Amino acid sequence: MRLAEEEARARLAGARVARLATAGSDGQPHLVPVTFAVEGDRIYTAVDHKPKTTRNLRRLRNIMENPRVAVLADHYEEDWQTLWWVRVDGRASILQDHDAMRRPLDLIAGRYAQYRLARPAGPVIVVEAGRWTGWASAAG
């Protein structure tokens, strides 16, 4: 069954991980798992301290070239009566100013104990939701 926007928002907000899809000017898709926080029609995710080969991340470069993104969260179990997914299509921007990042980082740290111990330095990606879509099985 199709999910109403409020139900889609609630399910996304309750998910522990989502996937962020970006594409650069070449149109090549790039998909990465992200931790995040939802506030109204905004989704925040931050570049954290986990080891990375570079700080010049493809997702950041893609957003600078093409701000159109999608965020996807889903729930899967062998009991297909509990399946659901939520997708948000929107436009992303990048926050690098310490003051501008404070609230999004507070929200993210409020969801994940690891970030309370080692707060991400950023930058923060802000996704402004343009469209919420989702589906759940009859029992999901």
- The DSSP result for 103-125, as a single string, is HHHHHHHHH-HHHHHS-----EE
Which secondary-structure segment (H or E) carries 98?
helix 98-111
Domain ranges of the chain: 5-136
pLDDT tens for each residue of 78-131: 999 999 999 999 999 999 999 999 999 999 999 999 999 999 989 999 999 999
Task: Determine the pLDDT at residue 52.
Answer: 54
Task: Determine the pLDDT at residue 55.
Answer: 65
CATH assignment of 5-136? Answer: 2.30.110.10
Better-predicted residue by pLDDT, 132 or 81 = 132
Residues in the chain: 140
Interval 34-39 mean pLDDT: 98
Nearest Cα neighbor of 126 from 45, 18, 31 is: 45
pLDDT tens for each residue of 47-86: 977 555 556 799 999 999 999 999 999 999 899 999 999 9
Q: Which two tokens stand for residue 138?
A: 């009859």
CA 82 distance to own-chain centroid: 22
Burial call 85-98: b when 16+ CB within 10 Å, e when fewer: bbbbbbebeebeee
Res. 25: pLDDT tops 80? yes
Of the pLDDT bands very low, low, confident and very high (cuts 50, 70, 90), residue 138 is: confident
